Structure 1
Amino acid sequence: PKGAEWQKAVEYWQTLVSDEDAVFDAEVDLDVSKLTPFVTWGTNPGQGVPLAGSVPDPKDFTDTVDRTAAERALEYMGLKAGMPMRDIKVDTVFVGSCTNGRIEDLRVAASVLDGRKISDSVRMLVVPGSARVRLQAEAEGLDKIFLAAGAQWRAAGCSMCLGMNPDQMERGERSASTSNRNFEGRQGKGSRTHLVSPAVAAATAVAGRLAAPSEI
């Protein structure tokens, strides 16, 4: 909705509140000003730590299943416990997928890359989540920012999210990806995937390693 219809909708949505005497199983308050970027170190979306942190030690996991999964993940990812996440270098950066290929995501990534160049050691693919998003991004000039930075601007599609067609990594190569899955072989046989936000992906492309925008 737009205009008066939008305002009417907002007024209605604001009436959808809980009863004053409602009781919940739990209430969680988050101070978003203190939130820091998270990245994955392992082979499932739950294996993540703050970017400012380090690779966890499997010995610190009390659950046997989690400990075994962590050991296997570290072996597959070629990482060692205690390694700072910021020391992890990448070969490829992928911005896209239905998860983080929206116009808002592309705007964020472009704002980080504007006026900068990606590292010579990095290949960066930017793939809009839909044809409509691609057209809007091009109308806003975002494609020019990505191209000027040295990234590839692609047509909408799945691309490296699942290693489609030639958009794959070689065995042992490592990516920072805005997709939502980092299972073994997800982006090519033997590939290693770190899930990141669009902002972190763009900063990583510039730094050549996992990095936050504040670091470049």
Structure 2
Amino acid sequence: MILHIIRTLGVKGGVGYAYEYAGTTFEQMTMEERMTVCNMSIEGGARCGYINPDQVTYEYLKGRDFAPKGEDWNKAVEWWNSMRSDADAVYDDILTFDAAEIAPTVTWGITPGQGIAVNEAIPIPDSLPESERAIAEEAYRYMQLIPGAPIQGTKVDVCFIGSCTNGRLTDLREAAQFAQGKRVAQGVKAFVVPGSERVKKDAEAEGLDKIFVEAGFEWREPGCSMCLAMNPDKLQGDQISASSSNRNFKGRQGSATGRTLLMSPAMVVAAAVNGKVSDVRQLL
């Protein structure tokens, strides 16, 4: 969803502003799913992104190590409720999306704004606004992709699930759901990196690590890993990575010629299983 929003508004769409996400889709999201969306707001140029606190927020926070306790909790909830946008709040702009029409989205270029639905073709220069053509031409050259070609079917070398964007427990649960009973394609390096020690511990308690290992993924220690080419987790040469991280800039994953395709954790599993960019809905 957030890749689609950034694709629509552009990487500079939020410059000087904050993004407020609202509507029935966001109301139904878990807190961790909301974190993913808000995390990516900066990639759209916004100063920050937020979703108004609600019962989902409070249920997520209550009982956590550093959450207020007792009467302090009641006071905190009252204060948080006071921070919600009023029904008559005035916004600089409002854009409405129909979530049912948003297909799994993949980036094809060198900015998070260069994204398309998995069943779409890489845009040709003439279809883009003139202001976007120069960066598109640079992306074609760097990514070695052909304008007008479908993104689906693009071969991948490395599949990475993790990062602060998509390394939380619910992310791993979602990915494991699609990995269970499947097998990573021959020649593909695939690994899962929990976002924290607690996420790793909780995931292992649920047996998620076993599901990934049985499917051919490496189960790694928590950290940033390939999101920014930390430690040995780097692309080699012009390898293509299917990555659940938040940035696809040139050289971001450790190789000056390495190529990154951003997508959701579930989409990374689909790419790993098929050895190429694939529509995860086909694994349902």
TM-score, length-scaled by structure 1: 0.90
The 8 Å contact of residues 171 and 265 in structure 2, kept in 1 or not, is answered as yes
Which blocks of at least 5 consecutive residues in structure 2 are unaligned? 1-61, 64-68
Give the deviation of 1:122 after TM superposition.
1.1
One-letter amino acid of the structure 2 residue matched with residue 150 of structure 1: G
The 8 Å contact of residues 171 and 188 in structure 1, kept in 2 or not, is answered as no
Give the deviation of 1:157 after TM superposition.
1.0
How far apart in 2 are the matches of 1:22 and 1:103? 34
Name 1:113's counterpart in structure 2. Answer: 179
The 8 Å contact of residues 119 and 279 in structure 2, kept in 1 or not, is answered as no
How far apart in 1 are the matches of 2:78 and 2:116? 39
Give the deviation of 1:90 after TM superposition.
0.2
How far apart in 1 are the matches of 2:262 and 2:182? 22
Q: Which has the higher contact order (CA 8 A, sep 6+)?
A: 1
Deviations 1:114-159 (A, max 9, x none): 1111111211010001111001100000000000000000000111
Deviations 1:86-108 (A, max 9, x none): 02110110000111100011111
Helix, strand or coil for the counterpart of 1:86? Answer: coil
One-letter amino acid of the structure 1 residue matched with residue 172 of structure 2: L
Give the deviation of 1:16 after TM superposition.
5.6
One-letter amino acid of the structure 2 residue matched with residue 199 of structure 1: A
CA gap 1:20/1:148 in 2 versus in 1, 3 angstroms = closer
Name 2:145's counterpart in structure 1. Answer: 79
Structural mapping, 1:36-185, within 5 Å? 36-64=103-131, 66-185=132-251
One-letter amino acid of the structure 1 residue matched with residue 138 of structure 2: R
The 8 Å contact of residues 157 and 239 in structure 2, kept in 1 or not, is answered as yes
TM-score, length-scaled by structure 2: 0.70
Name 1:208's counterpart in structure 2. Answer: 275
Helix, strand or coil for the counterpart of 2:152? Answer: helix
Give the deviation of 1:58 after TM superposition.
2.1
Which blocks of at least 5 consecutive residues in structure 1 are unaligned? none
Give the deviation of 1:163 after TM superposition.
1.4
Name 1:191's counterpart in structure 2. Answer: 258
How many aligned positions are there?
Answer: 215
* RMSD between superposed Cα atoms in Å: 2.2
CA gap 1:18/1:173 in 2 versus in 1, 3 angstroms = closer
